[in-house]
Amino acid sequence: MYQLYYYPLNASMAPHFILEELRVDFELVFVDRESNAQKSHDYLALNPAGRIPTLVDNGFAIFESPAICIYLAEAHPSSNLIPKVGDKNRALFFQWMMYLSNTVQAELMMYFYPQKHTTNVKAAKSIIEAQEIRVTEMFDLLNRAFENKDFLIGTTISSCDYFLFMLAVWADELKKPPLSFNNLSKYLRKLAQRDAIINVCNKENLSLADYQ
């Protein structure tokens, strides 16, 4: 049985969505970020980066949210959460997963934690303002990608869609949040009707009222 080491609304949210979508047996293991439990000796033995999430599969531990999402999709090929080898959409899958994790998520982290990216405390406000502009431009690009499309890749849901939903939740406090974009809004509201997302949001205490 899978064990997902998680913290509500953290980067563990996307793997949590996928586990629910797969309808497999899994255990949620709460990691108290408020007390820095992710830096504990026992947790570091599983994940030396000391970050959340970590997935354990019969003693095999893997960390980094996008890697976990890909691992789960590959482990359950019948789910079609990742295109098969030889399908051109597989390249698009990796393109978008890398964009979401290496670009959008990374830039959001600078927005949320500006103090980690400067030695000048007074510069934090300027970093936040600059990052908000950058991240908004990224969601505009994603909005255009959904012109006449229901999913990010192909005609069925993939792990990328769940990863994007997580990032959209994080970005809901921006002056122009994802739900303010026409195509993205339709897409996110439709995703919010899926059982996997409803179940996770109930467990992680996130209201989906804005997506109704």
- Show me where the domains of the chain are located: 2-79, 88-194
Taking alpha carbons only, the member of 6, 9, 4, 24 closest to residue 196 is 24
**With 90 as the cut, is the pLDDT of residue 120 above it?**
no
Picking from 62-71, 116-125, 157-166, which range would have the lowest pLDDT averaged per residue?
A: 116-125
Tell me: the pLDDT tens digits for 134-193? Answer: 999 999 999 999 999 999 999 999 999 999 999 999 999 999 999 999 999 999 999 999
Residue among 35, 30, 36, 25 at smallest CA distance from 12: 30
Give the pLDDT band of residue 197 (cuts 50, 70, 90).
Answer: very high
What pLDDT, on the 0 to 100 scale, is given for residue 124?
87
For residue 123, pLDDT beyond 90:
no
Q: Is 3 helix (H, G, I), strand (E, B) or coil?
A: strand
- CATH number of the 88-194 domain: 1.20.1050.10
- What's the rounded mean pLDDT across residues 50-57? 98
pLDDT at position 42 over 90? yes
**84, pLDDT greater than 90:** yes
Q: Residue 121 pLDDT more than 90? A: no
Q: What is the pTM of this model?
A: 0.96
Average pLDDT of span 72-77: 98
For the record, the structure tokens of 113 come out as 């934690």
Residue 33: is its pLDDT beyond 90? yes
**Structural domain 2-79, CATH architecture:** 3-Layer(aba) Sandwich (3.40)
26-30 β-sheet, strand order: 26-30, 2-6, 54-57, 60-63
Complete DSSP assignment for 59-127 = TEEEESHHHHHHHHHHH-GGG-SSPPTT-HHHHHHHHHHHIIIIIIIHHHHHHH-GGGG-S-GGGHHHH
| Confidence (pLDDT) at 117 | 87
